[in-house]
A and B are shown apart, each in its own frame.
Chain A
């Protein structure tokens, strides 16, 4: 807290600095074929809502949507659905809905029909304030996704990332940003003239942890998103970095430099008790928790090059197990949501950095990206999408892909963006 005393805290107005621009570059080869009949209602509202829903579904890569211009807007009644006609059009599903707007609320009602089984599979209502139109659209597309793909959608989740805007004299303005999963509704959580790295979500989505260099030294802070209240997590005169929240929200794993070298510790947030987890002459950092909270992954230089290790937290004095063996640089790993594998940064033999994945059941790695300096992969909570940082020309931006083959880019409205972190499910 001593560090905070010298800082001026100013609450910023909720200014939108512009949005990341979403661009879908590729889609899956075997998508669900879905006809969405434009949701009728007030035309401006309807147009925006339909556009957001369609973009959400396209971005998953798992949907091929019937061109809207081929469809006449029509009111769909359950007993009037001509399943045979939709089948002839090659559709698997039909989605129809309407928007009911009053002065201070918008209701979105929608129905989903399975063309092959010839029956209605979902009837839903989502309601909110007129200024929550994008959220209404995201909830709706998540409902559609869940009914058709069979797993929860992530359109209503959020992203954290770091924005770095350089002025003419090359001074940077660093911002920790919060945005919807499609890059819209961008808001500033922290603005500083010193670097900000390693943003991490609390499991309930209410807080963020990150590393800020505002005191001239790397320190980890926890900030409440709604109130802006923030605290340095440990008041030690040492560098602290790489925060990761345990799935139950009670612990933070961290890298501390008090031993003259990067070592991993676990901090119990309730009483600030620190437990040292690694004791090595080499670098140990970038810890992340397993979905069940019983293991951590981390990067260690103990073999002579950065490699990924796993530590079992249930066993006393457990020995870390090396998980990566291909190549001389594997780092910043995290588990897939069902622990079926890990995703990490891999340097290939040509010296370029890519995002790679290794499934538990396989004894080889899969290289998933093809730019030259791909970094910081973060997996969506449903495990079907990954967002990461790329550099194109000399511009850093975010890119993503779905495991079913779609890829997309989120170029920044200004400056560079990097270090994305995907939230948990928030609805």
Chain B
């Protein structure tokens, strides 16, 4: 005997197997699940004055920094040293290829790579917020190399 989900009938499903060799006799009530929908309205993020803004790009499936990225990050380090109180948000992203959860982890590895470079150059960990949006927030829509290369990135804000 199985209990129905929020069934509108007080009765529970009744399944009878007769003793007779192969005739199956059943009687069952249909259950309907109640559903309550929820809407969430994210609070808009407090924005800080833009001091360091850069985008670091990555190769497919990779999270290592290229020499070009390091040039861009040197500028960020200089700026951070002059303004030791600012907080930086490092947001990692992936292109659409591959699974969403693995891409979330890959985006995180990319922002960690940037964080590690900054920390190695004297920036404090507590000045950095390191996160990932995986493939959920593409900069460029489209399924081609050009769009993909723009989407494999860490946005420094």
Contact = CB atoms under 8 A, between A and B. Distances in A.
Contact of A299 (B2, B8, B99, B131): B99
Interface stretch (A10-18, A268-276, A362-370): A10-18
A351 B28 CA distance: 49
A285 B37 contact: no
B41 A123 contact: no
Interface stretch (A31-39, A42-50, A226-234): A226-234
A124 B26 contact: yes
A11 B36 contact: yes
Contacts of B32: 128-129, 132, 135
B104 A218 contact: yes
Contact of B137 (A123, A195, A286): A195
Contacts of B5: 205-206, 226, 426
Interface in B90-117: 96-102, 104-106, 108-109, 112
Contacts of B49: none
Contact of A189 (B38, B42, B136): B38
Contacts, number: 218
B73 to A, nearest CB: 18
A178 interface: yes
Contact of A125 (B27, B37, B105, B142): B27
A8 B40 CA distance: 6
A192 interface: yes
Given A198-B100, A206-B5, A226 B34 contact: yes
A67 B23 CA distance: 27
Given A128-B32, A216-B42, 6 more contacts: A7-B43, A132-B32, A212-B40, A226-B36, A285-B102, A426-B33
Q: Which 8 A-B pairs have the closest CB atoms?
A: A228-B36, A128-B30, A12-B37, A262-B105, A195-B136, A283-B105, A188-B37, A226-B34
Interface of B: 2, 4-6, 8-9, 13, 22-43, 45, 61, 96-102, 104-106, 108-109, 112, 130-134, 136-137, 141-143
Interface of A: 6-14, 119-129, 132, 135-136, 139, 143, 147, 158, 170, 178, 187-195, 197-198, 205-206, 212-218, 223-228, 230, 239, 241-242, 255, 257, 260-262, 283, 285-286, 299, 301, 305-306, 329, 331-332, 345, 347, 351, 353, 373, 375-376, 391, 394, 419, 426-427
